[in-house]
Amino acid sequence: MTLFRKAPSASQGDKCRFPLNDQERALCEQSGMVPHASEITWRVFRIMAEIVEGFQLLTRTTREVTIFGSSRSAPTSHWYKESYALGTMLGKNGFTVVTGGGPGIMEAANKGAYEQGAQSVGLNIELPHEQRLNPYVTLSHGFHYFFTRKVMLAAAAQAYVFFPGGYGTLDELFELLTLVQTGKSSKMPIVLVGKDHWAPLLAWLESSVYGTQDAIDPGDLRIFTVVDSAKEAFAIVSKSAERHLF
């Protein structure tokens, strides 16, 4: 879907018909294109629908713990097995496991909860190379936009657990750290699993971001906790208090 359509004739002096900033307006006029307002309106309503449907889904669950990690982790990998162990412990103790619904770490956590008969939620995303929904999800919703999905993944869990992962995992981690740091979200357990994996990033945050640049405060380095196993993560999560959407 495109936000712009070709103007009938550039010589007719057609102007951009939708509020744009000066740079966007200049680019629009130079190219002889005008924004298609109906398509923009449709996109806004699609965003609204994804948010409403996501919140409606989450009102059906309680005691949520959201688990993040790489979609590329194989079932034979150490962190897949640890994620499965955490999902199992959470499910056995009445927690709802929430993931991005895909393979790898997400699948492992969902599988552990599913096999315990617990709620197992998958908030999936549409990608050019389609990300499959793993078969261990009991409640799911598919999102077109990454940012609406991120809102739902961070919405109301009482704890967040991060296993080793890529850009998506890091994106979600720094989103949550920023929300807590700025007071836009209440404090809750944010647990990073895998000391060796996270050590270089944490050393950089401490030595450069804090030490050299003074871009964060010392307390910002204590928003999260680093552990090395699913058992340690569960010990922290099990003491957390339930949060609510509103």
34 assigned to some structural domain: no
DSSP 185: S
198 assigned to some structural domain: yes
Task: Please answer whether residues 97 and 85 qualify as being in contact, where contact means their C-beta atoms are separated by less than 8 angstroms.
Answer: no
**How would DSSP label each residue in 127-190?**
-SSPPPPPTT-SEEEEES-HHHHHHHHTSS-SEEEE-S--HHHHHHHHHHHHHHHTTSS----E
233 assigned to some structural domain: yes
Q: Does residue 137 register a pLDDT over 80?
A: yes
Structure tokens at 153: 């993944």
Type of residue at 21 = N
Q: What is the CATH number of the domain that holds 176?
A: 3.40.50.450
Q: How many CA atoms lie within 13 A of 7 on its CB side?
A: 17
Q: Does residue 7 register a pLDDT over 50?
A: no
CA distance 35 to 12: 16
Q: State the pLDDT at residue 169.
A: 96
Burial class of residue 122 (count of CB atoms within 10 Å of its CB; 0-12, 13-18, 19+): buried
245 assigned to some structural domain: no
Structurally, the chain folds into a number of domains equal to 1
Q: State the pLDDT at residue 106.
A: 97
246 assigned to some structural domain: no
Who contacts 130 (Cβ-Cβ below 8 Å, separation ≥6)?
Answer: none
185 assigned to some structural domain: yes
Q: Does residue 3 register a pLDDT over 80?
A: no
Domain that residue 54 falls in? 49-237
Q: Does residue 225 register a pLDDT over 70?
A: yes
Maximum mean pLDDT: which of 22-31, 150-159, 223-232: 223-232
Who contacts 227 (Cβ-Cβ below 8 Å, separation ≥6)?
Answer: 191, 192, 193, 195, 233, 236
Cβ neighbour number for residue 37 with a 10 Å cutoff: 13
31 assigned to some structural domain: no
Structure tokens at 154: 């961070």
Q: Does residue 8 register a pLDDT over 70?
A: no
242 assigned to some structural domain: no
Q: Which residue has the tokens 């008969």?
A: 117
Give the residue among 230, 211, 191 at the shortest CA–CA distance from 89: 230
Q: Does residue 17 register a pLDDT over 80?
A: no
Q: State the pLDDT at residue 155.
A: 84
Q: State the pLDDT at residue 6.
A: 41
How remote is the C-alpha of 53 from its chain's centroid?
16
For 169-189, write each residue's pLDDT tens digit.
999 999 999 999 999 988 999
Instruction: Go through the chain and tell me how many residues it has.
Output: 246
Burial class of residue 99 (count of CB atoms within 10 Å of its CB; 0-12, 13-18, 19+): buried
What global pTM score does this model have? Answer: 0.82
For 72-115, write each residue's pLDDT tens digit.
999 999 999 999 999 999 999 999 999 999 999 999 999 999 99
User: For residue 45, what pLDDT band results from cuts at 50, 70 and 90?
Assistant: confident
